[in-house]
Amino acid sequence: MTLIAPRPIGILGGTFDPIHYGHLRPALDLLEELELAEIRFVPCRIPAHRGTPQMTAEQRLTLVQLATDGQPGFITDDRELRREGLSYMFDTLVSLREDFGDEIPLCLIVGTDAFRELHTWHRWRELPKLAHIVVMQRPGLLKPLVPVLEAFTTPRLIYDRFALQRKPAGGILFQPVTQLNISATRIRALLARGQSPRYLLPEAVLAYIHAQALYR
Ligand code: ATP
């Protein structure tokens, strides 16, 4: 009997206020380079670490659907919208484990900026029990991690996709991705000034933003 290692599932959580090419292109890099089975885009309902998003959770979910529609392997996952209270990634990973079981590798995908704040996340030390962490490098200076996060990261570092497949969880992989200096903050600022964010995000997303008169 040949044992084929299950391909890992990627989870990209975010506010997605709105989703843009800085999320989408690096996610496609990871899907292909790491040979993931799929990437689940998980918009948060109520973010734990920032102010209230400008769009409702339902609107942000719709934009994620519009942006990922038609890309094989990209899945929109609405589980955080179905949960009361603050949206904690810990709870999301527990719920994914309930759905997919303990064997399949899960990869929590974060940008470098989000990873640098990991030590402020709810039950952050337990995240490696549930998933690997894949860090997609964002443009900008690579500042050192705070000591507590550095000490957490170093013993868990892994260096390739095979290591992701060998265990269901526990490793931390820094993966180079296409460098796109795009942020939702800038897109909201452009729209608020009456300027165009075109070519920073999918046309279908922009059309919805205009149709709903969002971010004015
Ligand atoms: P905002 O500007 O409102 O803070 P954002 O553009 O950073 O938003 P989020 O929805 O907060 O978008 O990000 C979700 C995840 O995607 C985070 O892990 C973040 O680090 C990552 N990410 C966002 N933009 C990029 C980018 N341009 N390149 C790589 N990763 C990114």
Domains, the chain: 9-181 (3.40.50.620)
Average the pLDDT over 44-66 and give the result. 89
Average the pLDDT over 48-73 and give the result. 91
On average, the pLDDT of the chain sits at: 94
Q: What is the DSSP letter of 100?
A: H
Contact 201, 37 (CB under 8 A): no
Q: Write down the pLDDT at residue 81.
A: 94
Neighbours of 174 (CB within 10 A): 16
Q: Write down the pLDDT at residue 55.
A: 87
Structure-derived torsion over alpha carbons of residues 19, 23, 25, 28, reported in degrees to the nearest 10: -110
Q: How far is the CA of 202 from the centre of ligand 1 (A)?
A: 15
Greater pLDDT, 2 or 7: 7
Three-state SS string across 161-189, please? HHHHHHCCCCCEEEECCCCCCCCHHHHHH
Nearest CA to ligand 1 atom 18: 110
Q: Is the pLDDT of residue 96 over 80?
A: yes
Q: Write down the pLDDT at residue 140.
A: 65
State which of 17, 20, 23 you would mutate to test the pocket of ligand 1, scoring each by most atoms of that ligand within 8 A of its C-beta.
23
Q: Write down the pLDDT at residue 143.
A: 80
Contact 97, 6 (CB under 8 A): no
Contact 11, 108 (CB under 8 A): yes
Q: Which of 29-43, 52-66, 126-140 has the highest mean pLDDT?
A: 29-43
pTM given for the model: 0.95
73-83 pLDDT tens trace: 999 999 999 99
State which of 120, 183, 187, 205 you would mutate to test the pocket of ligand 1, scoring each by most atoms of that ligand within 8 A of its C-beta.
183
Name the percent of the chain lying above pLDDT 90.
Answer: 86
3-state DSSP call for residue 37?
coil
User: Where does the pLDDT of residue 4 fall: very low under 50, low under 70, confident under 90, or very high at 90 and above?
Assistant: confident
Q: Is 183 in the pocket of ligand 1 (CB under 6 A)?
A: yes
Q: Write down the pLDDT at residue 3.
A: 64
Average the pLDDT over 30-43 and give the result. 98
Greater pLDDT, 41 or 213: 41
Q: Is the pLDDT of residue 133 over 80?
A: yes
- Residue 77: phi and psi, rounded to 5, are -120, 115
Q: Is the pLDDT of residue 139 over 70?
A: no
Q: Write down the pLDDT at residue 54.
A: 80
Q: Is the pLDDT of residue 141 over 70?
A: no
Q: Is 15 in the pocket of ligand 1 (CB under 6 A)?
A: yes
Length of the chain: 216
